[in-house]
Structure 1
Amino acid sequence: MKRMIRYVCMTLAAVLLCPIMTVSSQEVRRTVHVGGMPFGLTMYTNGVVVVNVDDSYDSPAVAAGLRENDVITRANDEEITSNERLHEIIASSEGADIELSVLRGKSPLSMTLTPETDDDGNYTAGMWIRDSTAGLGTITYFDENTHSFGALGHGICDRDTGLLMPLGSGKIVKAKIGSITKAKKGIAGGLNGYMSDEAIGEMTVNNSFGVYGKYTAEPEGEELPCAFDSEIETGPAQIITTLDDGELQSYDVNIEGFNLNDKSGQNLIVRVTDEELLDKTGGIVQGMSGSPIIQNGRLIGAVTHVFINSPEKGYGITIGNMLGCYEQFGGVREES
């Protein structure tokens, strides 16, 4: 069964599993605008992330002590905000030492990088770095009380390392789904789309419970109360999402189990039962992360991950964890 929802959309994409964290659930009843719209995201890291170090020889990066997942924040006391700038500093070094400020996890480190020439005479460091990412996903909610949004229900992680990307800045924009890659057993499907230039918000948080920030456009979606954890039950529910017809729609699912104490955010087990959605997508696909889950007229959480060998099933996170995450990390401090 399918029910049409009256509102139109935006878009962003899904990503990978990331480190776990703990936040407190909501303690008072909240009412939010329920999402389901796709959105596009462009995120720039805080510094540049080392995604690979060439250890096939004693490369400059190896000699300096750099490792995969290190974040380079400064070079010769200059703040580093892009791959291009660090490449320029290395290329123009003429082999002189470059003093680096590095974050390894939460630990600040100082290192000395001494570039060497490659076969073409260019100075290199023997490492690969990344400063940004982009993709499509689904908005979970807009909260008018804090002018905030929550989306994805899991973090944006580096596609090579699988670890959370450190957020420097990021924006979300309206997007549109153009086609669907249907999921099959062992093969992840996906919503394929494109981003517009119309910004609707700014990111302030990227962590294992989702992406959060301030919205700058008018909130969309029906207003619904948020469920307390104690109100979540096994049985029928609905997810709200947008496919390639551009319409916000509700599809039937079943909550098959839950673990409200799971600190990774994988709190709910969701099975798609709606024949139309199964026919179109094969179940849960990439890009649907963040799709709101509704049960008994309340927002109970969001879809987060698919079971790759059973794509009709996946995980969800509770709305209490998402709201608690924003309150702890996302900008309530900015309101005071």
Structure 2
Amino acid sequence: MNKINKNFKNIWIILGAVSIFTMVIIFNKNCNVNKETQIEAFAIKNHDKKFVYPMGNIIGVKANTDGVLVLGYEEEDVDYIGGIQIGDNIVKIDNKRIKNSQDVSEILNKIKKSKVEVTFERKNKYKTEVIETKKENGKYKLGLWVRDKISGIGTMTFYDPSMEKFKAIGHAIKDSDTNELLKIKQGYIYKPEQLKIVKASNEKVGKIKGDFNDSNLMGNFSNNSELGISGNITENHNKEFNVANKEKQLIEVGRPQDVKIGDAVILFEDKNKNITSYDIKIESIVYDKGNYRDMVIKVVDDKLLEYTGGIVQGMSGAPIIQNNKIIGAITHVFRDNPKKGYGIFIDEMIKL
């Protein structure tokens, strides 16, 4: 398994069609009295409305999978091994819990059996199959390539003070090889350093690059769904992301019927690490529950086109504002036209 692991270190997630890995960030729940009073006043006066803090900051994301994801097989021309297919998530071997790829190797070489029971998850259903092990150089293995970690760059969407949670991305974190939704055991968000924008063009999709490590840990999450992720901010970052210390205002959450074809803006971190609004056009709207590609947007702001070339990987989750309401988030970019992409209704992300 060590040989296999080397092939899959530091693999970046590329989400979507092309989806663009992005996020949200949380704010300090310990706001000052005036800010808490403001929130309470909003709740009383607007009991049928919801208010959140829009974001737009770039963050790094790392996550450990719940079990190990099957990426492929060591042998060529194999479609499955003992019933296990690419995209399956292995959670147990001989009823022993699998947390990571190292567990697979350790358990197999501890029990030293020619056949083992492997429990795996496929499309939210658990199955158990008896698999023949392989022995090579005195070591037992399953003959599978697996992954247990992912990392990427994203953008904050909004913070919900009523839930004390951040919401992010607007679509699921999926494996770049299998396109399967990843079962996350524990995920973390970081403040990235040495950010670099690889500009988009009609020939290629652009992306955001950056470094991040545990010293820049900002928060955590465990919920990964088709609507994105949600989680919490660490205490040591409360000051930096404290709502009370930011020139930010609560903004009303727009409903799908509030979204109109025409002018809007997105919020996104500029090269000076300031959150800047950029002009876009909403070109079409799709009211199709469960589709999650609710609108087609086009970047029309020359400043953003000069900065990024359009929508890039790492921008997914950037909040969309129209008529003083947060109405959605960017989720995907068109491969053949980086000025255009898809967005999800914010009303969907609120459900996270």
Query: Normalising to structure 2: TM-score of the pair?
Result: 0.80
For 1:122 and 1:72, locate their aligned partners in 2 and report how far apart those are by CA, in whole Å: 20
- Verify: 1:56 aligned to 2:76, yes or no: yes
Report the CA distance shift for 1:304/1:177 in structure 2 as closer, same or farther (over 3 A).
farther
1:245 Cα offset (Å):
2.5
Give the AA of the match of 1:71: N
2:94 matched to which residue of 1?
Answer: 76
1:15 matched to which residue of 2?
Answer: 15
For 2:270 and 2:315, locate their aligned partners in 1 and report how far apart those are by CA, in whole Å: 9
- Verify: 1:147 aligned to 2:164, yes or no: yes
- Verify: 1:117 aligned to 2:135, yes or no: yes
1:283 matched to which residue of 2?
Answer: 310
2:320 matched to which residue of 1?
Answer: 293
Report the CA distance shift for 1:319/1:168 in structure 2 as closer, same or farther (over 3 A).
same
For 2:169 and 2:321, locate their aligned partners in 1 and report how far apart those are by CA, in whole Å: 16
Q: Deviation digits for residues 6-37 of structure 1, max 9, x if unmatched? A: xxxxxx9762359xxxxxxxx94211111101
Which runs of 5 or more structure 2 residues have no equivalent in the other structure?
1-11, 19-46
What secondary structure sits across from 1:264 in the alignment?
coil
Report the CA distance shift for 1:256/1:57 in structure 2 as closer, same or farther (over 3 A).
closer
1:206 matched to which residue of 2?
Answer: 224
Contact 2:269 2:276 in 1 (8 A): yes
Contact 2:13 2:174 in 1 (8 A): no
1:230 Cα offset (Å):
1.3
The 5 Å alignment of 1:292-331 reads 292-324=319-351, 326=352
For 1:128 and 1:316, locate their aligned partners in 2 and report how far apart those are by CA, in whole Å: 34
What secondary structure sits across from 1:84 in the alignment?
helix
Give the AA of the match of 2:122: R
Report the CA distance shift for 1:152/1:14 in structure 2 as closer, same or farther (over 3 A).
farther
The 5 Å alignment of 1:20-59 reads 28-54=48-74, 56=76
1:94 Cα offset (Å):
3.4
For 1:92 and 1:57, locate their aligned partners in 2 and report how far apart those are by CA, in whole Å: 30
For 1:33 and 1:105, locate their aligned partners in 2 and report how far apart those are by CA, in whole Å: 34
Q: Deviation digits for residues 33-87 of structure 1, max 9, x if unmatched? A: 111011111111111111113453789x71x221111111111222110111112
Contact 1:38 1:177 in 2 (8 A): no
Give the AA of the match of 2:154: G
Identify the match of residue 155 of structure 2 among 122, 138, 143. Answer: 138
Contact 1:208 1:264 in 2 (8 A): no
Q: Deviation digits for residues 257-301 of structure 1, max 9, x if unmatched? A: 111325221101110000011112110000111100111111011
What secondary structure sits across from 1:89 in the alignment?
helix
1:331 matched to which residue of 2?
Answer: none
1:178 matched to which residue of 2?
Answer: 195
For 1:58 and 1:278, locate their aligned partners in 2 and report how far apart those are by CA, in whole Å: 45
For 1:125 and 1:41, locate their aligned partners in 2 and report how far apart those are by CA, in whole Å: 30
1:92 Cα offset (Å):
4.0
- Verify: 1:236 aligned to 2:256, yes or no: no
Identify the match of residue 126 of structure 2 among 108, 112, 122. Answer: 108
How many correspondences in the alignment? Answer: 303
Over the aligned positions, Cα root-mean-square deviation in angstroms equals 2.3
Report the CA distance shift for 1:57/1:282 in structure 2 as closer, same or farther (over 3 A).
closer
1:3 matched to which residue of 2?
Answer: none
1:214 Cα offset (Å):
2.7
For 1:241 and 1:161, locate their aligned partners in 2 and report how far apart those are by CA, in whole Å: 29
Query: Normalising to structure 1: TM-score of the pair?
Result: 0.84
1:175 Cα offset (Å):
2.2
Contact 1:13 1:39 in 2 (8 A): no
